[in-house]
Amino acid sequence: MMAAIRETLAEKGGWLRLAAVCAAPTLLVLAFALAAGWLVPGRLTAGTFMRTFGLVDGPHPGFRRNHAKGVCVTGWFEGSGEAVSFSRAALFTRSRSPVVGRFALAGGMPFQDDEPEKVRSLALWIMPVHGGEWRMGINDIPVFPVRNAADFNDFLLASRPEPQTHRPDPSRMAAFLARHPETQQALALLKARILTSGFADDTYNSLDSFAFINGEGTITPVRWAMVPEQAARPPAGPGAGRDYLFHDLIEALAHGPLRWHLVVTVGGAGDVTADPTVAWPAGRRQVDAGILTLVRAESEDGGPCKGITYDPLILPEGIAPSDDPIPAARSAVYARSFVLRSGEPKTASAISRADIRPGEP
Amino acid sequence: MHPVEHFSLFARVLHWLMAVMILAMLFIGIIMVTTVEPAYHRLVDLHRPLGISILLLAVVRLVNRWLIRVPPLPNTLPPILRLAARLSHIVLYALMIGLPLVGWGMLSAGAYPVVMWPGFVLPPILPHDPALFAALRRLHTWLALILFGVVLVHLAAALMHGLLLRDDVLPSMTGGRGNRTADDSAS
């Protein structure tokens, strides 16, 4: 065999043949490295966000990298049939689908204190009996503070605490806001929102735009909100307790079911779908797509919401992503967070089983 | 020049189709896990059905390989390279079948729906188990990198046969030099 190779190399162009043998795999390796972003530093990946959350919130193994403090809830969603003309997703028909949800506080600190103005979120996993599940993570703010993943990473980094002072450097955020007037406007809307007493009387917004697709294939841009049946009460004053939002929720559920209406807003001509910092004008058509009923709270420790991810791109047939760039980024980042925390040792969460059923172990 | 014993046409079509699919899959995979841009979900939506297609085709190919005669390696090849060729093909087949199964199993363990296309979801093949999900997710990456490595070695070996040794190995899969096929010689 070696003789045959030597013979070839001795011929005219023989070395060119050897070069070709080496070049093909080398080019493939280079192309792979290029695709992976290894040759150009600074590509924004899910890993970038893991590092950013680590810088902002510190390491908290075993917990979600964002919305780390939470509690599981269960119940069901009952479609009203009203949204069927916009989306062919099975869960909008007049039927009941089981739900595993999660209330949480925004931020990566699993033991942070509850405070009225902290952003509250509701994550839902709606599982129609015959398939077509829908997952979402929705928040009690009117708009998202940034337009895309890169801006979100910069926004988070601008809010990171300084190692010496343990407080954010205000000049960092000022510099970010100077470059991002859309974030200034969004934060003004966030600040102006009416705070409620807790999770139960709060409204949670999709912030991102999606597309509903009906039986005829007609595509409708939508946003949605979970609007509580519970009457809004004013927020608690100081000294309510470090877990008061969660304890109030647990107590409310112990007294009876809590209900929200899934109110779908139909985008009009000219409404931006690609930019979650911009609110759609008031007066858009709204459809009451069904009622969410939550009946039970459970600690994340052993609870049904711990071992899943509320990836906002797990959509049923009949709902599709829009040109909004944020859901794809959330999907990628949640997946990375889910892998990391699932492989890490578990620490008991702030809202323990004892918090929910006092007296039981 | 003596006629080349080719792989059957079916085996050659499967080989080149899967070569394109596997390379596409490796690149889709690495781009997918290193981006947070909107391409992410489009690549994920492509990655799952393409992976399951590779799994199905690999099973067809394995059965085909058992049933139909394969052209022998040239006698001039030293035993050590003969063994390397045999082992690398076993690894290739194991990964063509194993990698999609690990992907499917990992999504099952993570309670992700294994969506092929809108409205068609494969059933889970493993129970919901987050720790298993995390382990399989890592295994998926390592196996993919090993597959890429074996593909590179396979490509380099094929080019060595075709350009330096100039034996029958490369034309037996490209269908070049003459028209005799393994099917003909077996009959």
A36 interfacial to chain B (CB closer than 8 Å):
yes
The residue among B28, B30, B40, B42 with the most chain A CBs within 10 A of its CB, best to mutate, is B40
Distance from CA of B121 to the nearest CA of A (A): 8
CA distance A327 to A325: 6
Residues in B closer than 8 angstroms to A37, CB to CB, are: 34-35
Return the number of other C-beta atoms located less than 10 Å from residue A285's C-beta: 11
d(CA A295, CA A72) in angstroms, rounded, equals 11
- Looking at chain A, which residue has its C-alpha nearest residue B108? A308
CB contact under 8 A, B156 and A25: yes
Other residues' Cβ atoms within 10 Å of the Cβ of residue A268: 12
- Known binder of ligand: residue A334? yes
**pTM confidence score:** 0.94
Query: Do B41 and A43 count as a contact with CB atoms less than 8 A apart?
Result: no
Helices (H), chain B: 9-32, 39-67, 79-109, 130-159, 169-174, 182-186
Residue B17 has pLDDT above 80, yes or no: yes
Please state the rounded mean pLDDT for residues B27-56: 97
User: What residues 329-348 of chain A have any CB closer than 8 A to a CB of chain B?
Assistant: 329, 331-333, 338-340, 342-343
Q: In this model, does residue B117 exceed pLDDT 60?
A: yes
pLDDT at residue B2, as a whole number: 75
Please identify which of the residues A67, A180, A247, A261 carries the catalytic annotation: A67
Under 8 Å between Cβ of A299 and A349 = yes
pLDDT for res B3? 82
Residues of A in contact with B156 (CB under 8 A): 21-22, 24-25
Cβ neighbours for A98, distance < 8 A, ≥ 6 positions apart: A74, A75, A76, A126, A127, A129
Residue A67 bears catalytic tag? yes
> Tokens in use for B133?
């999900």
At B4 the pLDDT is: 86
Q: What percent of chain B has pLDDT over 90?
A: 83
CA distance B173 to chain A (A): 17
Q: How many CB pairs under 8 A join A and B?
A: 130
Name the residue facing B36 among A24, A35, A333 (closest C-beta).
A333
pLDDT at A240: 87
Query: Domain spans of chain B?
Result: 9-186
A94 touches chain B (CB under 8 A): no
ipTM of the complex: 0.93
B128 touches chain A (CB under 8 A): yes
B82: nearest CA in chain A?
Answer: A1
**Mutation site for B-interface testing, chosen from A273, A342, A344, A346 by largest number of B Cβ within 10 Å:** A342
The alpha carbon of residue A320 is apart from the nearest alpha carbon of chain B, in Å, by: 9
Residue A258 structure tokens: 């809590």
User: What confidence tens digit (pLDDT) does each residue in A123-161 have?
Assistant: 999 999 999 999 999 999 999 999 999 999 999 999 999
Between B128 and B184, the more confident residue is B128
B83 touches chain A (CB under 8 A): no
Handedness of CA A35, A36, A42, A48 (dihedral sign): positive
The answer to whether A81 and A92 have CB atoms below 8 angstroms apart is yes
Closest CA of chain A from B29, distance in Å? 9
Please identify among residues 148-187 of chain B the ones whose CB lies closer than 8 Å to any CB of chain A. Answer: 148, 151-153, 155-156, 159-160, 163-167
Average pLDDT, chain A: 95
A105 phi and psi, to 5 degrees? -100, 140
Closest partner residue to A45 (CB to CB) among B34, B119, B164 is: B34
Q: Hey, what are A348's tokens?
A: 């008991």
Residues of chain A with pLDDT under 50: 360-361
* Residues from chain A contacting residue B37 (CB–CB below 8 Å): 149, 325, 328-329
What are the chain B neighbours of A321 within 8 Å (beta carbons)? 38, 41
In DSSP terms, which residues pair with A69 in a beta bridge?
A105
Residue B184 confidence (pLDDT): 47
**Is there a contact between A159 and A173 (Cβ–Cβ < 8 Å)?**
yes
- Domains, chain A, in order of start with CATH, read 1-36 (no CATH), 69-142+193-356 (2.40.180.10)
> How far is A90 from B178, CA to CA, in rounded Å?
58
User: Tell me, what's the pLDDT at B179?
Assistant: 54
Residues of A in contact with B128 (CB under 8 A): 307-308
What are the pLDDT digits (tens) for A272-295? 999 999 999 999 999 999 999 999
CATH of B9-186, one of 3.30.450, 2.40.50, 1.10.3470, 1.20.950: 1.20.950
Question: In angstroms, how far is CA A120 from the centroid of its own chain?
Answer: 12
User: What is the residue whose two structure tokens read 């008061």?
Assistant: A244
Nearest residue of A to residue B28 by CA position? A35
B27 and chain A: CB distance < 8 Å anywhere?
Answer: yes
Cα–Cα distance for residue pair B130/B109, rounded to 1 Å: 6
Angstroms from A264 CA to nearest CA on chain B: 21
Q: Give how far B31 is from chain A: nearest CA, Å.
A: 6
- Indicate the residue of A1, A46, A343 with minimum beta-carbon distance to B165: A1
